[in-house]
Amino acid sequence: MAEVIARHHAHDIIVPSSAGLTALGHVTDLTLKTLHANGYSTVGLSSKPFRRETLKNFDLIINLTGDPHEREFAGTVKVDNWKVEDPYGQEPDVYQRILEELESRVLLLAGRLRTAHQKARV
């Protein structure tokens, strides 16, 4: 969900790419339904596994588990740990609540990045 939200609200400052430490290999129906119900396009959305060798391509990693993963991210780019509940297997209202939490966090992150970008240009 975070990738789609970032693509929608922050495409000017974030180039999102989502990958999971324990990727399912498919996007759940409730994830797709929740995103669509909130006006988001899911074109191109897929479940991808995290690959350590791709870290050099990123400036920032958002770790949604909130748990430190030093082994996976050691010696790499900046990591923000967001403790976001995994809605997998929950009721639709949990998916909606998580979507709203992710929207809020992504919008705050985008605002911080835009501000930092503007300051760097001055």
Amino acid 109: pLDDT: 97
Look at 10-19, 58-67, 111-120 and tell me which has the smallest mean pLDDT: 58-67
- The answer to whether the beta carbons of residues 63 and 43 sit under 8 Å apart is no
Amino acid 69: pLDDT: 65
- pLDDT tens sequence across 32-70: 999 999 999 999 898 888 877 777 788 888 989 877 766
Q: Domain 2-121: give its CATH architecture.
A: 3-Layer(aba) Sandwich (3.40)
How far, in Å, CA of 24 to CA of 59, rounded?
25
Neighbours of 28 (CB within 10 A): 14
Residue spans of the domains in the chain: they are 2-121
Percent of the chain at pLDDT > 90 equals 56
- The answer to whether the beta carbons of residues 41 and 5 sit under 8 Å apart is no
Predicted model pTM: 0.88
CA atoms within 13 A on the CB side of 115: 6
